[in-house]
Chain A
Amino acid sequence: MLFSKKILSKTPKIRLSNLYKSFGRKHVLQGVNLDIYPGESLVIIGGSGTGKSVTLKCILGLMEPDAGEIEIDGQKVTHLSEKAREKVNAKMGMLFQGAALFDSLTVWENVAFGPMQTQRITKKDAKKLAIEKLALVGLTKDVADIYPASLSGGMKKRVGLARAIAGNPDIIFFDEPTTGLDPIMSDVINDLIITTTKKLGATALTITHDMTSARKIADRIAMLYNGKIIWIGSVKELDKTKDPYVRQFVAGSANGPILTQAKVEK
């Protein structure tokens, strides 16, 4: 509780107010309200299909919400012009679930892609920058000239992380950062997420359903269920909460108020 009091005074880095998004008759987001404060690491947990990815895509500008507002540093970012959007995006970095590396480019070209687009830097400087960033995620310059197709899942995630931090972003997003990795590699990635965001002093927003990962990287955890944030609090508060939905999700139990039946689309 102490923590939440301390940060309440600042303006939020990201503010979501009353966010709605539907696909046909499927109402994915039904009024999401969430404040993320500068420098904190917030993790959104929730089952598959609860709207975690859609929330993230709305913040990134890959989707427009049907209603509601998104503010970044106090600036409204819904319905922006392309130029203004690109400026906002320059503040952000994103690690995609499958890393989403460009397979027509080498590892270093992937990492330096953002800086090469936004700043006028020479190829030599770009490569140097890429190798620096690769070192931050524990990769040597041997991988710089190979293509992403020949990397393992864990290596791809590392390169993806290097690319996400290459533009020195204020905000970094992580989409299921540990999905598809073995427990040890998951822990390595979790550690890297913590160290790299700390080093940049960035705000981090992660969506995941991996509780081990959430506990490790989160300052605060928010739970998304039925298109709304139903609970938010610190990791300590998570273990004490009596909220039946959160308890069921954290325990990973099939019995509880959360419907386990897969919803069939009509």
Chain B
Amino acid sequence: MKFIDLLGRFVFNFLLATGRFGLFTAQTIRYMFTPPFYYKQLLTQLIEIGFYSLPVVALTTLFAGMVIALQTYTGFSQFSSEGPVSLVVLISVTRELAPVMAGLMVAGRIGASMAAELGTMRVTEQIDALSTLSTNPIKYLIVPRVLAGILMLPVLVLIGDIIGICGGYLIGIYKLEFNATTYLVNTWTYLKTMDIVSGLTKAAVFGFIITILGCYNGYNSKGGAQGVGAATTNAVVSASILILIFNYILTELFFNA
């Protein structure tokens, strides 16, 4: 009996949490299209997510591009040349590595800080204070953050694409001693719009996942410092897992459907 009781409670709590998250998401999306809009808040978030995440995203995609060039060379050693290396670098960076790397790095950076900031605001009653000052907290706090995530992640990934391909190029030219012109021409001919577009679409989805989870966990945190800590962990872990799952699903949709 105790087992059934526990199972029932688990299922009930799971459904409750899913429902709450669904409502929160639906409300956020609805408020994106209803005034008032807080442009100043949006601008702050755009800078916070876009500009300040640039160094981390640039570094991770650079090294990702470099290591792919190196591994492809070893893997294709029998017929290694400019062709396969530049193609593999191009495809893996634009389709998978840049979006996933940028997504995971931003989840760690932005997801965590949003959860901690909103969590602290919840615990110190600042979110309640917004309501008493006739300001809808979801419109004022959540919508700008989520919008900024959806808009800035593709920009970051586009920059990551360029830097990652440059990383591959650097290894190809200076370590593997390929011909620079051939490598660049190859890269240019293999480049397909779909590779870039799929990567950027993924980025927008990841941006949404990161910010909505960071906001949801922070907004609903309870119980002081410990609650804020738990919210931060949940935000980063759940966003990272969902990024990898959705990355697979989107790849399937784009290239296998």
Contacts and interface: CB of A to CB of B under 8 A. Distances in A.
A9 B247 CA distance: 68
Contacts of A117: 133-135
A118 B126 contact: no
Contact of B126 (A57, A90, A94, A102): A102
Contacts of B134: 86-87, 89-90, 114, 117-118
A60 B131 CA distance: 9
A238 B130 CA distance: 36
Interface in A49-108: 57, 60-62, 82, 86-87, 89-90, 92-94, 96-98, 100-103
A113 B133 contact: yes
B81 interface: no
Interface magnitude class on chain B: 10 to 19
Contacts of B132: 60, 62, 89, 92-94
B129 A102 contact: yes
B122 to A, nearest CB: 10
How would you classify the secondary structure of chain A's contact residues: helix, strand, loop or mixed?
A: mixed
B256 to A, nearest CB: 44
B252 interface: no
A97 B128 CA distance: 12
Interface centre among B121, B126, B129, B136 (most CB of A within 10 A): B129
Contacts of B125: 96-98, 100
Nearest to A164: B132
Interface centre among B125, B133, B134, B136 (most CB of A within 10 A): B133
23 contacts: A57-B128, A60-B132, A62-B131, A82-B136, A86-B134, A86-B136, A89-B131, A89-B132, A92-B132, A93-B132, A96-B125, A96-B128, A96-B129, A100-B125, A100-B126, A100-B128, A101-B126, A102-B126, A102-B129, A113-B133, A114-B133, A117-B134, A163-B133
Interface of B: 121, 124-126, 128-136
